[in-house]
Amino acid sequence: MESTFEIIKSNYVRDKKQNTPYIIGINGIDCAGKTTLARDLSGRLKQSEINNEIFHIDDFNDPKVEKETYRAFASGNWNENDFDRYYESIIDFQQAREAVEIAAAKNEILIVEGIFIFRPQLKITFNYRIYLEVNVSVALTRFEQRRRLMGDDRPVGIFEDIWVRAHNKYVSEVNPRQISDLIIQGP
């Protein structure tokens, strides 16, 4: 983490002369550790007296799409149309983009973390892109732990049948590894 922090801090110091917000994107599959990395990075930036905010793309999930997707999956009525709708509509990209613009104007650094954030629909210019690559089985174990801790009643199958599948489609369309400045290989 120290080298990641030092790289970001030096890039920020170099680029801050442009008087534009510095936006960092942290991307990866669900349960890859995006939020944890964002919190660690934010804390270190604050220790260096750099004003920053974490922006969670999950806050812009469409609750109707989410509810209908998980209900269809749990009832066994899940089909290709449901998957396509989930992939295309789970995030309200316009609302997220507008909120990012407002938050970026108030902070020296904005850390945007979440799934699908490098899709062109978000239309954010990231100064630094980080991609977390973790083994799917590790991410699944994290999801199962999170479910137990939070009392999440969604079926475990959503992880592989929806999230992993959507992530694989995203990877094939966007290729986040190729467009990222830093790839962090996890377990």
Q: What is the pTM of this model?
A: 0.91
Confidence of residue 20 (pLDDT cuts 50, 70, 90): confident
In a domain, 34, yes or no: yes
In a domain, 14, yes or no: no
In a domain, 178, yes or no: yes
How many residues comprise the chain? 187
To the nearest 10°, report the CA torsion of 28, 33, 39, 40: -110
In a domain, 15, yes or no: no
In a domain, 181, yes or no: yes
Q: Are 104 and 155 in contact (CB under 8 A)?
A: no
In a domain, 177, yes or no: yes
* Residue-averaged pLDDT of the chain: 91
Q: Are 134 and 32 in contact (CB under 8 A)?
A: yes
Tens digit of each residue's pLDDT (9 = 90 or more) over 36-87: 999 999 999 999 999 999 999 999 999 999 999 999 999 998 899 999 999 9
In a domain, 124, yes or no: yes
Tens digit of each residue's pLDDT (9 = 90 or more) over 80-126: 999 999 999 999 999 999 999 999 888 889 999 999 999 999 888 89
Domain count, the chain: 1
Q: Which domain holds residue 138?
A: 2-9+20-185
> Order of strands, edge to edge, in the sheet holding 109-113?
52-56, 109-113, 22-28, 128-133, 182-185
In a domain, 50, yes or no: yes
What residues contact residue 16 under an 8 Å CB cut-off, 6+ apart? Answer: 22, 108
Confidence of residue 176 (pLDDT cuts 50, 70, 90): very high
- 91: domain CATH number? 3.40.50.300
